Amino acid sequence: MSIAPLALLALGDLRGTERWLLGAALCFATLGDVLLDWPGNYFVLGLCAFLVTQLLYAALFARDWRRPWQLTGFTRAACLAVLVLSIALTAWMWPNLGKLAVPVTVYIGALTVMVESALLAQFKTKWIVLGAVLFMLSDSLLGVNRFKMDVPLRDYLVWATYYLGQCGIVLGYLQEKQDKR
């Protein structure tokens, strides 16, 4: 199962740079899905594809940052919480990361930047932020399962949070842009 249909939906509704950023993010996510599911050890390549996805999403969301920043107390607290949780997750998994310590840490950093970028945009619809958080939860479950301990019902939890996260990001973003027209 792939998120490719979301890419087609996004490409049909957006224009310009937003269309390119969202479409490219979804294409790299689809590539990451394929690489992680492909027989053999393509974990690092899948991680790289999703790294690009996170950076493209962060760039997309940064286009909506309000300047100068007028951050609410909630936004500040949420950004701090995401950062602290990311650092704690990395520290907890660190002893088990081995040769993958650097790529996994870089990826967690990019994932954190993506979620914080969604928070800093202060979108009217909360679906985008919820989607970003669910995407982060999905990848955290994958990481914990791979490097720390077995996660009960991992496949169900990962796929549910991943697809709901992607849907939240894409459909929320499309709604946000439609409301601004």
In this structure, the dihedral spanned by the alpha carbons of residues 54, 60, 62 and 67, taken in order and rounded to 10 degrees, is: -170
The model's pTM? 0.92
Residue 46: predicted pLDDT = 97
pLDDT digits (tens, 9 = 90+) for 74-94: 999 999 999 999 999 999 999
Higher pLDDT, 4 or 155: 155
pLDDT digits (tens, 9 = 90+) for 34-46: 999 888 899 999 9
**Mean pLDDT, all residues of the chain:** 92
Q: Which two tokens stand for residue 8?
A: 């087609």
Q: Where are the domains of the chain?
A: 4-180
In this structure, the dihedral spanned by the alpha carbons of residues 46, 144, 21 and 160, taken in order and rounded to 10 degrees, is: 100
Rounded to whole angstroms, what are the CA distances from 14 to 18, 22, 26, 122, 151?
Answer: 6, 9, 14, 20, 38
Examine the pLDDT at 11 and tell me if it is beyond 80.
Answer: no
| Gap between the Cα atoms of 181 and 177, Å rounded | 7
Examine the pLDDT at 127 and tell me if it is beyond 60.
Answer: yes
Residue 4: predicted pLDDT = 65
Residue 40: predicted pLDDT = 85
Examine the pLDDT at 110 and tell me if it is beyond 60.
Answer: yes
Please, which pLDDT band fits residue 2 given cuts at 50, 70 and 90? low
Provide the percentage of residues in the chain whose pLDDT is more than 90: 77
